[in-house]
Amino acid sequence: MPAKKKKAVKKKPDTKLIKESFLQILHSSASIKEALEEANLEKGIFNQMLYEDSKFKQQFDDIINQKLELALLDSALRASSSTILTFSLTNRMPEKYKGRTAVNPETVMPQQIVYVQEKEDKK
C-alpha cells in the first residue's frame, strides 16, 4: 500500500519579525522604498501592517519624524538659515525650545529661541 502524501502546510510568515527587521532597515535606508525592497516587503502588506498595528505605525512614524527632523536641521545648517532652524526647533521640540516672537507684522515666526534646561528628578 503506497504511503499517503502529507499536505504541505503553508507556514504563515512571522509578522513580528518582519516588522522588526523592516524598522531596523528603515533606520539606515535613504527611503521607504529602499527599505521595503531590502526587507522584501510588498507595499500593500506594509500598508496593511500600518493600518492594523498601531504600535508598528507609531514606531514607523517615530523613525520618519526623526529622519525629517535631521534632514530639516541639516538643510537649515547648510543654508545658514536661522528661520528654518528656529521653526524646526520650536515646532519639533517645544518642551526644550520656546519661541519668543518679536512685534513684526510681516512675520509670525519666532525671532528668538530660548533653550529650556530640563530639571532632573531628585531621588
Same domain for 107 and 71: no
The alpha-carbon radius of gyration of the chain (Å, integer) is 23
| Domain total in the chain | 2
> 97-100 and 112-115 as β-strands: parallel, antiparallel, unpaired?
antiparallel
The overall average pLDDT reported for the chain is 77
Q: How confident is the chain (123 residues) per 10-residue block, as mean pLDDT?
A: 61 81 94 94 93 95 88 78 74 69 49 54 48
Pair 26, 63: CB distance under 8 Å: yes
Give a yes or no: residue 106 inside a domain.
yes
Structural domain including 102 reads 93-123
Give a yes or no: residue 27 inside a domain.
yes
pLDDT at residue number 41: 93
Same domain for 62 and 97: no
Same domain for 22 and 74: yes
CA distance 107 to 21: 44
Same domain for 68 and 122: no
pLDDT digits (tens, 9 = 90+) for 76-104: 778 777 777 777 777 767 777 766 554 44
pLDDT at residue number 4: 65
Q: What nine digits make up the cell of 90?
A: 520650536
pLDDT at residue number 15: 86
pLDDT at residue number 79: 77
Cβ-based burial of 26 (10 A; exposed 0-12, middle 13-18, buried ≥19): buried
Same domain for 61 and 31: yes
Give the pTM.
0.60
